Structure 1
Amino acid sequence: MEKLLKSLVENKMLNQPISKFILLIDEQGKEHGALFFIEVGKRNYKLTVPHPHHIALIKNGLPTAKQIVYHQEAMLLK
């Protein structure tokens, strides 16, 4: 997560809205969170935020990279 944060700061992308994300929904239609895709340079990072915490991030439009990375429930996937 520190490497992602450093890359975002270097590329001045912390306040950029993140438009690539999907909701994680099972076959019964139950939400399990959201998966955010952050592209920094040539690298792609995937961060997941579990339910119900993802709702606060997306209810007012697109979240910024800073909001996602600094969210206490965010998890970086490899």
Structure 2
Amino acid sequence: MEQFLKLINQAGLSSQVVTDLSLVVDDKHITHGCIFNVKVDRKNFKLFVPSPLHEPLLADGKKPLLKEIIQIKEVMLLK
């Protein structure tokens, strides 16, 4: 996660709008969170924000900024 944050700061992408996202929904239609796909220097990173913390990021159909996502303490970087 530290390397990811370093890449974001070096590239100056913290104010980038994240448009590529997927909700994580199980077979009982329960939403468990959201995966945000972020591309930095030809690499793709996936950030998982658990439920219910993802809901304010997506409220009213808005797209979150990368800095809003990484400020959440519970965010996880997936491999």
With normalisation by structure 1, the TM-score equals: 0.93
Q: 1: CA distance between counterparts of 2:39 and 2:29?
A: 29
User: RMSD in angstroms over aligned alpha carbons?
Assistant: 1.0
| 2:11 counterpart residue number | 11
| 1:77 counterpart residue number | 78
The one-letter code of the counterpart of 2:13 is: M
The one-letter code of the counterpart of 1:68 is: I
Q: 2: CA distance between counterparts of 1:72 and 1:56?
A: 14
Unaligned runs of 5+ in 1: none
Q: 2: CA distance between counterparts of 1:42 and 1:62?
A: 22
Shift of 1:15: 0.3
| 1:43 counterpart residue number | 43
With normalisation by structure 2, the TM-score equals: 0.92
Q: 1: CA distance between counterparts of 2:5 and 2:71?
A: 9
After the TM superposition, list the runs of 4 or more consecutive aligned residues in structure 1 that deviate by more than 3 angstroms: none
